[in-house]
């Protein structure tokens, strides 16, 4: 019975209620997408493993380290596997076709990153071909590449046209794995550099270490760095999560702006919903005065006002949450190369629901206070 009354009250002015519901839905949709953008920024951090360390030049990531560090790192206690590689920085045909591409020591790299799912046959073919490439399934889909295709990347850090044969495609074991990467053999890069730019050969941009126990990761990182203290290329070793956070920190100001904008969106729709409820309460002041005359107390009035506000906010919130998923899919389709992991998380859905609930509660606060404090005679006189 109560629910029926609330529905009738909410639909008494259908156009106004419908527009308010749409407004709440659009706000929740915008809030959810902005939260998903922020989550996408942190996707690399979330996908990090506690057993992986990253070693780079202590001055900057752009300065290389000698390949000879490999054996010394491998002998450090608690280090299980060591891999290495370089950021390649090439693009396909046009500069706008830019994506993550790395030259890596393939066999050890795939041991450290078991979340790259590859068929055994393709993995064998990739490891056996010095000019072979391992490509993420989404990247291959973007350019229409297939296994066996020959592609040429145009180098920027390492100038020239670099020809590869796609030998394998990988899928992520989880949704947080980036499927827009292009990996190839470090040996291919190094052998080419020995012929064309010998002064840049036998140098790597980073080492990856898989440690035996994550509890000793910090001690292992210090032990690695101590190996190269006071050398020409001192190292900085940190956990993979800390390494990824370093990249996120460079965009901290942008992330803060996005989060502020998402809160402003909710504040604006809160003002709109509060205005709708204020108009409804003002129009029904006579009815509330009559209810008070008949003996209905403040709890009953609060139920009517708060219930109507929550009903409108819930309808808008549910509609906004439902629209977030197809909108996120369309967004991912359009700009997937910039946000390879763009997934609406459970936490985002919960925040959407919490935002809608807050709008419903706060929008009813002032109109409810007005309805409770008005005297019966004033209520009958104001409307009648």
Q: What percent of the chain is predicted at pLDDT more than 70? A: 99
For residue 238, being part of any structural domain is answered with: no
- What is the mean pLDDT for each group of 10 consecutive residues in the chain (384 residues)? 78 85 90 88 77 92 92 93 94 90 95 93 95 94 94 93 96 86 96 91 94 87 93 92 79 82 85 83 82 83 87 92 91 74 88 90 86 80 59
Q: 204 and 125, same structural domain? A: yes
CB 87 within 8 Å of CB 203 = no
CB 122 within 8 Å of CB 183 = no
Q: 220 and 164, same structural domain? A: yes
Q: 345 and 374, same structural domain? A: yes
For residue 2, being part of any structural domain is answered with: yes
- Alpha-carbon distance of 102 to 178, in angstroms, equals 13
Distance of CA 213 to the CA centre of its chain: 28
Structural domain boundaries, residue 108? 59-233
DSSP conformation letters of 278-314: HHHHHHTHHHHHHHHHTT--HHHHHHHHHHHHHHHHH
Q: 187 and 274, same structural domain? A: no
Query: Looking at the 3D structure of the chain, how many domains does it have?
Result: 2
- Alpha-carbon distance of 228 to 188, in angstroms, equals 27
For residue 240, being part of any structural domain is answered with: no
Q: 222 and 136, same structural domain? A: yes
For residue 168, being part of any structural domain is answered with: yes
Q: 70 and 107, same structural domain? A: yes
For residue 241, being part of any structural domain is answered with: no
pLDDT at residue 353, rounded to an integer: 92
Q: 338 and 203, same structural domain? A: no
Residue with tokens 């380290």: 65
Q: 259 and 208, same structural domain? A: no
Rounded to two decimals, the pTM is 0.72
For residue 190, being part of any structural domain is answered with: yes
pLDDT at residue 337, rounded to an integer: 67
pLDDT at residue 382, rounded to an integer: 65
Q: 31 and 105, same structural domain? A: no
Domain edge (last residue) among 202, 233, 264: 233
């Amino acid at each position: 019975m109560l629910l029926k009354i609330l529905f009738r009250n909410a639909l008494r002015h259908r156009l106004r209620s419908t527009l308010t519901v749409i407004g709440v839905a659009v706000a929740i949709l915008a809030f959810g997408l902005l939260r998903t953008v922020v989550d996408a920024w942190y996707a690399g951090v979330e996908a990090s493993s506690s057993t992986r360390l990253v070693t780079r030049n202590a001055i900057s990531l752009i300065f290389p380290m000698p390949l000879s560090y490999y054996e010394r790192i491998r002998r450090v206690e608690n280090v299980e596997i060591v891999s290495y590689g370089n950021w390649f920085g090439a693009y396909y045909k046009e500069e706008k076709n830019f994506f993550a591409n790395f030259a890596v020591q393939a066999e050890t790299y795939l041991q450290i990153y078991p979340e790259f799912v590859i068929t055994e046959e393709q993995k064998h073919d990739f490891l056996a071909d010095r000019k072979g490439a391992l490509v993420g399934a989404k990247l291959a889909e973007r350019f229409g590449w297939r296994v066996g295709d020959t592609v040429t990347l145009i180098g920027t850090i390492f100038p020239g046209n670099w020809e590869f044969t796609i030998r394998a495609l990988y899928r992520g074991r989880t949704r947080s794995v980036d499927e827009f990467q292009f990996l190839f053999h470090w040996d291919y890069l190094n052998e080419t550099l020995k012929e064309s730019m010998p002064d840049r050969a036998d140098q790597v941009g980073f080492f990856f270490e898989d440690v035996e126990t994550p509890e000793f990761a910090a001690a292992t990182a210090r032990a690695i760095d101590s190996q190269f203290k006071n050398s020409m290329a001192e190292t900085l070793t940190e956990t993979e999560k800390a390494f990824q956070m370093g990249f996120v920190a460079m965009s901290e100001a942008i992330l803060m702006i996005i989060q502020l904008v998402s809160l402003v969106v909710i504040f604006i729709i809160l003002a709109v919903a509060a205005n709708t409820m204020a108009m409804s309460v003002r129009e029904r002041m006579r009815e509330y005065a009559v209810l008070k005359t008949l003996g209905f107390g403040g709890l009953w009035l609060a139920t009517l006002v708060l219930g109507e506000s929550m009903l409108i906010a819930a309808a808008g919130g549910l509609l906004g949450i439902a629209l977030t998923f197809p909108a996120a899919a369309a967004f991912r389709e359009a700009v997937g190369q910039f946000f390879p992991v763009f997934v609406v998380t459970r936490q985002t859905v919960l925040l959407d629901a919490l935002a809608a609930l807050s709008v419903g509660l706060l929008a009813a606060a002032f109109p409810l206070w007005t309805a409770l404090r008005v005297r019966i005679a004033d209520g009958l006189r104001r409307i009648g």
